[in-house]
Structure 1
Amino acid sequence: MSWYRLTASVSNPADLEAARTLSERVYAVLEKNLERRLTIREPELHNQLRNISPWRHFDGAIVSSAAASDLIESMLLQEGFWCRLESSILDIHVGEGEIYLGVRIGDASAAEDIVCLGLRRVRHSPYAIVRPRVHPYRPADGKFWDVVRQSVDGCGESVLLVQWAGGMAGEKWYLLHDGSEVSAAEADLPPRSICALFPAASSLRVEDEESELWTRIENGSVPYGNVRLLSKSRHPLRKAAMVSDRQEFDESVRRERGIKVSHIVVWPQEDEHEPLFAVCADVDGVVRSSALFD
């Protein structure tokens, strides 16, 4: 892989023209090489955006070169979505005011086009990664969903996290009470999502102020970054919120700010039971995801 860097002054969201010019230059290279399909890899979503969907922007989703150009522009403007983009000739990584283009070895035509753009040759992209070859989690198959149903039957309710993209906005939280809600969650899974079924000891109702878990949260023995507040709702899919400190936690559970909270979920620490993880298959039924929870 040969890497090149393209830079522009995108110093603030008002500098839309610089971002558009930069993304159009990449689009021109793709079009000239008849490369009209790119793959989204390792998406992250840190803000809810109207034009980003878990069904169109999941890991492995195919987008047109025009749609990829729009994504590049959005990433340059740091609107909240980020991903790697890959085609048969290029890898595209977007940073702060810069784009790294990786040309696959042997593709002389694309390399020539990129050099003509005046790009600077660099040793590597700081966003390049080595992906594991093995799948770290079990598949989210019928056996996994049997375990989820058994958990719901045994506990009366269970918390399920579905992570389709990195970042808070890439989380989908479910509070499941019966088999029909489990089936609804099972039918609402974007490809390559990672599921995490939380142990019963990791969640509590907001009124359970005498519980050990509540005490641990209040005295700071649980990192607040590991805490999620789930909204009150009639539906299994719940809104979730984070807190950064004790004051935010107190204000949120007392409904002085944010969502109306019904449940509190805590990510287990290293010495506790982990959630049960499973990974969803691709659209063709094959499990390809190698992503890990951080």
Structure 2
Amino acid sequence: MADPENFVGALARAFPMLSTEVFAIRSPEVRVLGGPWTANTFHDGSTVRGNDTLRLVGDLLKDPRFWCELESDGLEVHVSEDAVYLGTSPNRASVMTAQADLDVAVVPDSPYSQDDVDAVRYRPATADFWGDLDALLQSRGSLLLVSQWAGGLGGEQWYLLQSSTDVLAARAGVVPRSIIAAFEPERYIRIDDSSPVEVEGFVGSEAVYGNLRWLTPDSGSRLDASVVNDELDLREKCKIPKVGAVLFCWPETDMSGCITAACPDVDGVVRTLFRFE
């Protein structure tokens, strides 16, 4: 593909609706920790318009660390490494194609469309869900909670729940349209209370290090997350553990936890499409 900025400029001239319509961000993915993609700006359902839309399309072409779909009332935008897919009605598509001075081809579908069709439908995170979560916490003593506002590592927000107050704090910090999942104590180990042998036994002899999260206290019940790259990295982390550090292992099969929900919109409808991965 040509220079992304030149390409986006040509795209905007050919399809002016890209800079005039309001687009909602859908199915965001943040594939790394850190970076400029904040939950408040890039969560599912947040909107962009005008030059911000064009800038975001350019960023998606240049930087594979973040991805999302864009959706307006009459147009969908899916960006791959070497193409931009615009989805609209057949009549509108024929007009758009005729006006374009780019390399444009009519295709039956975007390669990303099936992802939304196969997306899991979640229970809404209403007061009933939070009540059930609190009841589970009382029976188990502690739970690890992840609120995932985007697919991928950078979309995870972690909490160690040890009281009803922690549940209230986590609920208050949840980003719109997040998926929420709780994990029982069998899925994590507290480094302060564990010997090296116990940590080794928890990880196992055939560890998938990409599934491990090293979680350290931030504020209140909130935890900061980092990856565990390999066995050596884990040993180095365990040598000088931060007080309250927790090691979590994503399950190989059921990654959704023992109780799961998604934050509904104000009308009570769950519109979240992405899933744990």
Q: Classify the TM-score, shorter chain.
A: 0.7 to 0.9
CA distance in 2, matches of 1:158, 1:34: 45
- Structure 1 length normalisation: TM-score? 0.81
CA distance in 1, matches of 2:173, 2:255: 29
Q: Are 1:158 and 2:159 matched, yes or no?
A: no
Structure 1 residue aligned with 2:96: 110
Structure 1 residue aligned with 2:188: 203
Q: Is the Cα contact below 8 Å between 1:33 and 1:109 reproduced in 2?
A: no
Q: Is the Cα contact below 8 Å between 1:31 and 1:65 reproduced in 2?
A: no
Identify which of 44, 49, 70 aligns with 1:85: 70
CA distance in 1, matches of 2:61, 2:117: 28
Structure 2 residue aligned with 1:5: none
CA distance in 1, matches of 2:70, 2:63: 16
Alignment of 1:21-40 (within 5 A): 21-31=6-16, 35-40=20-25
Q: How many residues align?
A: 275
Query: What residue identity is the alignment partner of 2:66?
Result: F
Query: What residue identity is the alignment partner of 1:267?
Result: W
Alignment of 1:63-82 (within 5 A): 63-78=48-63, 80-82=65-67
1:179 Cα shift? 1.9
1:271 Cα shift? 8.3
Q: Is the Cα contact below 8 Å between 1:136 and 1:292 reproduced in 2?
A: no
1:211 Cα shift? 9.0
Deviations 1:167-210 (A, max 9, x none): 10110011122222211211222222100100121112113335
CA distance in 1, matches of 2:53, 2:107: 23
Q: Are 1:176 and 2:161 matched, yes or no?
A: yes
Identity of aligned residues (%): 29
Deviations 1:239-264 (A, max 9, x none): 101113211111122238xx777111
CA distance in 2, matches of 1:291, 1:33: 24
1:215 Cα shift? 3.5
Q: Secondary structure at the match of 1:92?
A: strand
Looking at secondary structure, tell me which structure has more helix per residue.
2
Query: What residue identity is the alignment partner of 1:37?
Result: V
1:155 Cα shift? 3.7
Q: Are 1:228 and 2:213 matched, yes or no?
A: yes
Structure 2 residue aligned with 1:54: 39
Q: Are 1:129 and 2:114 matched, yes or no?
A: yes
Deviations 1:18-38 (A, max 9, x none): 222222233334535884211
- Structure 2 length normalisation: TM-score? 0.85
Unaligned stretches of 5+ in structure 2?
A: none
Structure 2 residue aligned with 1:144: 129
CA distance in 2, matches of 1:76, 1:135: 27
Q: Is the Cα contact below 8 Å between 1:255 and 1:261 reproduced in 2?
A: no
CA distance in 1, matches of 2:201, 2:102: 57
Q: Is the Cα contact below 8 Å between 2:43 and 2:175 reproduced in 1?
A: yes
Q: Is the Cα contact below 8 Å between 2:119 and 2:274 reproduced in 1?
A: no
